[in-house]
Amino acid sequence: MPDSNDKKINQSIIKAFKLLDAFTEEKKTWGVRELAQKTAYNKSTVYRLLHTLSSLNIVHQNSNDKYSLGSKLFELGNRVSIYKAITNLTRTPIKQVALDIQETVLLSILKERQVFHIDKADSLHGLKINTSIGSYQPIHATASGKLLFSFLSSIEKEDIINSTKFQSYTQNTITSKSKLLSELDKIKDQEYALDMEELESGLVCIAIPIRNKKGNVIASLSASGPLSRFKMENVSNYISILKKGIKDIERAFSDFESLP
């Protein structure tokens, strides 16, 4: 159980999950009064939490004013199942790519206008990249982000770029719409993207596309390492190693149009 004295923990979220824990196979629906008795929260707190959860489709209010679990939890559960199924197939080839390229390798998709990392294999050199599975990174400052962005339709690009804040992370971060669009055109033509210390000083990254069976780009495979080990003249070799490992990985994505 979470430490209730930890000031960093949001108590409302803890209370909301305690409500959700009450929904079981044996007891699928709850009224406000009985749920308040079950959790020892006052009725107004339970009602407020249920109202918020209902607005998010996490719970559903029935016609008799009782609540049951909503479709959002089913959706989230399916996401976990999908990502787990994919990573069960990709984990071995990703580890092999990391071994061959001797850098940290990430498998990523575009989600909520950001890069979302769904699998990772660490470098054997001992350099630990802070990026973790399940984390997000900005689309304009990462190799994977720019790569996935470059293969979107013109309408999607325009929509995303108009909402991008272009936060600067280093002196190399792209912070203008025109420069990013120019970079995206270049990336789409060459079919790989570079992050030259654009997100983190001293760190570089190279990313290539992963396609489904229709040939549409649906994910990216990238390798990240320190600038001291990266040489521009070796880019073609890096790409060759990534492409060598991508065949087995693409099988995991072959039937997907997109990922949730």
Give the residue from 97, 106, 128, 114 showing the smallest Cα distance to 248: 97
Tokens 């009985």 found at:
34
Checking if the pLDDT of 78 tops 80, the result is no
pLDDT at residue 1, as a whole number: 45
- Looking at residues 215-224, what average pLDDT do you find? 93
Distance between first and last Cα of the chain: 30
Whole-angstrom distance, CA of residue 124 vs CA of residue 140: 28
pLDDT at residue 183, as a whole number: 95
pLDDT at residue 83, as a whole number: 81
pLDDT at residue 219, as a whole number: 93
Tokens 């009064």 found at:
33
**What letter would DSSP give residue 232?**
G
Taken as a whole, the chain contains a residue count of 260
Number of DSSP helices (H) and strands (E) in the chain, helices first: 8, 8
pLDDT tier for residue 126 given thresholds of 50, 70 and 90: low
Contact 109, 84 (CB under 8 A): no
pLDDT at residue 123, as a whole number: 81
pLDDT at residue 155, as a whole number: 92
Whole-angstrom distance, CA of residue 58 vs CA of residue 52: 9
Give the residue from 205, 208, 245 showing the smallest Cα distance to 225: 205
pLDDT digits (tens, 9 = 90+) for 137-170: 999 999 999 999 999 999 999 999 888 889 999 9
Least confident of 76-80, 203-207, 211-215: 76-80
Whole-angstrom distance, CA of residue 237 vs CA of residue 206: 11
